[in-house]
Amino acid sequence: MRDLIRHWLMTVLPVSRRVLLHRYPYMHSPAQLMTLLATLDEAITAVPAGAVVEVGCAAGHTTVMLARHLRDRGHRGPYLAFDTFGGFTAEDKASEAASGRPAERLTGFTKNSRQWVAWTLAQNKTVPVQLVQADAGRADYAEIPGAIAFVLLDVDVERPTAHTLRQLWRRLAPGGIILLDDCRLNADGSPALSGKFGGGHAALLDWARETGVPFDYAAGKYAIIRKT
Ligand SMILES: C[S@@+](CC[C@H](N)C(=O)[O-])C[C@H]1O[C@@H](n2cnc3c(N)ncnc32)[C@H](O)[C@@H]1O
């Protein structure tokens, strides 16, 4: 009987396969996670008590992994994760559309809530994570105490990426690192800016042009900005 129920659950109801069976939870490949962790380690070694900040944490999968790693490393600085917890803002969709990017595809991340991410974190062994519900295109990041060691900037769109780069670069401690997601290159090595998530990359190029700060591409989709 039990076998029959199991068989029924897995064959008749595809939804139970999705719920019961393991699925790779990250938006980063294993090789990208290695780069992410190596970069985080580099930053917290240089800035031992500095804050770790994730801007755009979605459902908190990467947050759990990074905050678990920080616990294993005995990191003493705070971890803060910012998100709207409701997906992309109307203002961002409009400004992406105005820049010619496919804003109609910015429909994800709406099935989320700050409480769900708090519960997710609570059932995993992580360092404490402060979840902040905010529009990263306006945030003054006053919640972040002291110097910043590491920023994972992952909001995909231009306006909040540009604002966050400006705000957090000056707060980043020497030795600290900002890792910006979704900075892909075309086959000819030129920046891929026209796709769904090209807005963050476009913001980086503008910011780097204005400030003269250099950065490196890594792992097929990251831009890494080190404060020397
Ligand atoms: C690609 S997901 C983040 C993925 C996450 N860092 C991870 O690795 O699993 C992008 C997130 O940015 C958030 N986001 C988009 N625009 C935002 C804004 N203006 N302010 C705050 N969060 C925003 C979305 O709600 C979404 O959760």
pLDDT tens readout for residues 16-31: 787 889 999 999 999 9
Task: Give 91 Cα–ligand 1 centroid separation in angstroms.
Answer: 14
- pLDDT value, residue 191: 96
Ligand 1 and 156: CB distance under 6 A: yes
pLDDT for the residue 199: 95
pLDDT, one tens digit per residue, over 214-226 is 999 999 999 999 9
Provide the pLDDT confidence category of residue 204 given band limits of 50, 70 and 90: very high
Query: Could you tell me whether strands 172-180 and 216-218 are parallel, antiparallel, or unpaired per DSSP bridges?
Result: unpaired
CB of 96 sitting under 6 A from ligand 1: no
Rounded Cα gap, residues 60 and 79, in angstroms? 12
206: which 2 tokens? Answer: 């503008």
The pTM of this model reads 0.94
88 close to ligand 1 (CB < 6 Angstrom): yes
2 or 102, which is more confident: 102
Ligand 1: centre distance to CA 106 (Å): 11
115: tokens are 């409480």
Which pLDDT belongs to residue 103? 86
Taking residues 72-101, report their average pLDDT.
95
pLDDT of residue 6 exceeding 80: no
Q: Is the pLDDT of residue 165 over 90?
A: yes
Q: 141 in ligand 1 pocket by Cβ < 6 Å?
A: no
Ligand 1 contact via 180 beta carbon (within 6 Å): no
101: phi then psi, degrees, rounded to nearest 5? -95, 155
> Which ligand 1 atom sits closest to the C-alpha of 60?
9
What's the CATH code, domain 24-226?
3.40.50.150
pLDDT of residue 151: 98
Please indicate whether residue 92, judged by its CB atom, sits closer than 6 Å to ligand 1. yes
Q: Of all atoms in ligand 1, which is nearest to the CA of residue 139?
A: 20
Contacts with 5 (C-beta within 8 Å, 6 or more apart), sequence order? none
Q: Is the CB of 56 under 6 A from ligand 1?
A: yes
Confidence at residue 196, expressed as pLDDT on a 0 to 100 scale: 81
User: Could you tell me the two tokens for 163?
Assistant: 């604002």
Sketch the domain layout of the chain as residue ranges: 24-226
Helix-, strand-, coil-residue percentages of the chain, each rounded to 5: 40, 20, 40
Average model confidence (pLDDT) across the chain: 94
- Average pLDDT on 200-226 reads 98
What pLDDT does 35 receive? 98
Using a pLDDT cut of 90, give the percent of the chain over it: 84
Contact 224, 176 (CB under 8 A): no
**Averaged pLDDT, 123-142:** 96
Asked whether 136 lines ligand 1 (CB < 6 A), one says: yes
